[in-house]
Structure 1
Amino acid sequence: MNLPEKMDVPKDQLRQMNCEFNPLSRCDGSVMYTQGATVVIAAVLGPIEVKTQNLSIDGSYLECNYRPKAGLPQVKERIREATIRDVLELALLAEAHPHAKMSVQVQELEDRGSIDACAVNSACLAMLIGGLPLKFSFAAVHCIINDQGDYVLDPDQSETFHQRASFTFAFDSVDGDLLLVQTKGSFKIAQFNDIECLCRAASAQIFQFYRSQIAKYHGRSEAIAEKVKEQPEAMEA
């Protein structure tokens, strides 16, 4: 896979985002999501029959698995998996499919910075494309404070080597409520508030990216459907 070269972007801007829908065939929806040189693939399956031990009376059962680029999941991958599941459970409209199972699989392909946020965003796109019932979409943003005290939004891997503190926020698309807050390092409350505002503004760019990409996808799907519909008529003529 040819990864995009590092680009010089302002420190208050997200890296370039791209996605490819349905690169996998044996699932209900999948997406390969890239942000800068970080690449994640997510797939969803469901609703499907659930085993008795996972049966939920109130709604559907959500399964979420995260896989590293190589090897077996370690502690940090399990923590990331739990974080993704927490956000998905808040967004999923579980009562829409009672006594059923929803499965979300996230595979790390390349970690070049902001992997937690990228994993969450790829899962959201996969759920949207897979048609899982959601109360709202969601977007995650990563930001750090570097050694000079500057805020660096969506840092690449080299920039994270020199950080005082790290922050990951996730917001919903309806009310802008916080769904996820992860912090590491030392910082002041004023810095936390500044970075939350910075990440909230950046989440609007991600939501706009979702809308534009899904609109293009459905536009292509409609064009293909029309072409298939016209083919029998052409053969009869």
Structure 2
Amino acid sequence: MNLPDKPEQVAKDKLREMQCKFNPLSRCDGSVMYCQGATVVISAVLGPIEVKTQNLSIDGSYLECNYRPKAGLPQVKERIREAAVRDVLELALLSEAYPRSKMSLQIQELEDRGSIDACALNSACLAMLIGGLPLKCSFAAVHCIINEQGEYILDPDQRETEHERASFTFAFDSLEGNLLLVQTKGSFKIAEFNDVESLCRSASAEILQFYRTSISNYHCRRSDTKTSEEQMET
């Protein structure tokens, strides 16, 4: 198969609309329902909590991560996704802040309409942030594909992935933009990889800004609610 030296045009270089709802669950330290397009994931964190003896570490906390599909039991692809999330969190988590303890992350897939790996990572990051768990840095994940026509499609939906030639998922940290995760599938050239990485890196800045805006708005609303309650009491 002859691959084009470079796509003639970028088919889609915009992220789907992002939305989130903080703390929809009550029995955890922090949770978030994260939507990107029609893909919906809910993540919940708990910690620091007591850890079993076999997982105890005097140097840092033990990280537990579980990913559950929309229906049925986790299969191989869910375990791979779970491992990827854990790997990124282990790089970002300041585990030495709470030695001899456990941090627990639970991810529930509600709807997979494309870019589920990136959405799971983004929801995990937001849950850690809103739950107050110690992080060295936040991170943003972006998914991109190259279709059969050689066009780049950023944050594809389920229909667009049916015609992919290559698939990429990147995760970047918020400090220096270092790569925390690279997942690739399919056939591509080095030049195409570099182009996709650059496209995803630019998109990650938009996701990180979404984090900041969403968390700021959430705390402002909580502050306004608390002030109103205090005024009613007086």
TM-score normalised over the length of structure 2? 0.95
Overall identity of the aligned pairs, in %: 78
Aligned twin of 1:60? 61
Aligned twin of 1:187? 188
Residue 171 of structure 1 pairs with residue 172 of structure 2: yes
- Return the offset for 1:138: 0.2
Q: What is the CA–CA distance in structure 2 between the aligned matches of 1:151 and 1:57, rounded to whole Å?
A: 46
Secondary structure of residue in 1 paired with 2:12: coil
Aligned twin of 2:13? 12
Q: What is the CA–CA distance in structure 1 between the aligned matches of 2:232 and 2:158, rounded to whole Å?
A: 50
Aligned twin of 2:224? 223
- Return the offset for 1:90: 0.5
Aligned twin of 1:214? 215
Aligned twin of 1:85? 86
Q: What is the CA–CA distance in structure 2 between the aligned matches of 1:226 and 1:232, rounded to whole Å?
A: 10
Residue 73 of structure 1 pairs with residue 44 of structure 2: no
- Return the offset for 1:56: 1.0
Structure 1, unaligned runs of 5 or more:
1-9
TM-score normalised over the length of structure 1? 0.93
Calculate the aligned-residue CA RMSD, in Å: 0.7
Secondary structure of residue in 2 paired with 1:196: helix
Aligned twin of 1:7? none
- Return the offset for 1:227: 1.9
Aligned twin of 2:6? none
Structure 1 residue runs of 4+, over 3 Å off?
Answer: none
Give the length in aligned residue pairs.
224
The 5 Å alignment of 1:132-171 reads: 132-171=133-172
Question: What amino acid does structure 1 have at the position aligned with 2:28?
Answer: C
Residue 33 of structure 1 pairs with residue 34 of structure 2: yes
- Return the offset for 1:57: 1.4
Aligned twin of 2:43? 42
Q: What is the CA–CA distance in structure 2 between the aligned matches of 1:223 and 1:100, rounded to whole Å?
A: 34
Q: What is the CA–CA distance in structure 2 between the aligned matches of 1:93 and 1:140, rounded to whole Å?
A: 19
Q: What is the CA–CA distance in structure 2 between the aligned matches of 1:229 and 1:89, rounded to whole Å?
A: 40
Q: What is the CA–CA distance in structure 2 between the aligned matches of 1:130 and 1:166, rounded to whole Å?
A: 32
- Return the offset for 1:229: 2.1
Q: What is the CA–CA distance in structure 2 between the aligned matches of 1:228 and 1:96, rounded to whole Å?
A: 34
Q: What is the CA–CA distance in structure 2 between the aligned matches of 1:153 and 1:217, rounded to whole Å?
A: 28
- Return the offset for 1:225: 1.7
Residue 205 of structure 1 pairs with residue 201 of structure 2: no
Question: What amino acid does structure 1 have at the position aligned with 2:125?
Answer: C
Secondary structure of residue in 2 paired with 1:13: coil
- Return the offset for 1:221: 1.1
Secondary structure of residue in 1 paired with 2:170: strand
Question: What amino acid does structure 2 have at the position aligned with 1:76?
Answer: K
- Return the offset for 1:201: 0.1
- Return the offset for 1:51: 1.1
- Return the offset for 1:36: 0.4
Secondary structure of residue in 2 paired with 1:113: coil
Secondary structure of residue in 2 paired with 1:149: coil
- Return the offset for 1:232: 2.4
- Return the offset for 1:30: 0.4
Question: What amino acid does structure 2 have at the position aligned with 1:160?
Answer: T
Aligned twin of 1:4? none
Structure 2, unaligned runs of 5 or more:
1-10
1:83-122 deviation line (CA, Å, top 9, x unaligned): 0000011010001111111000000000000000000000
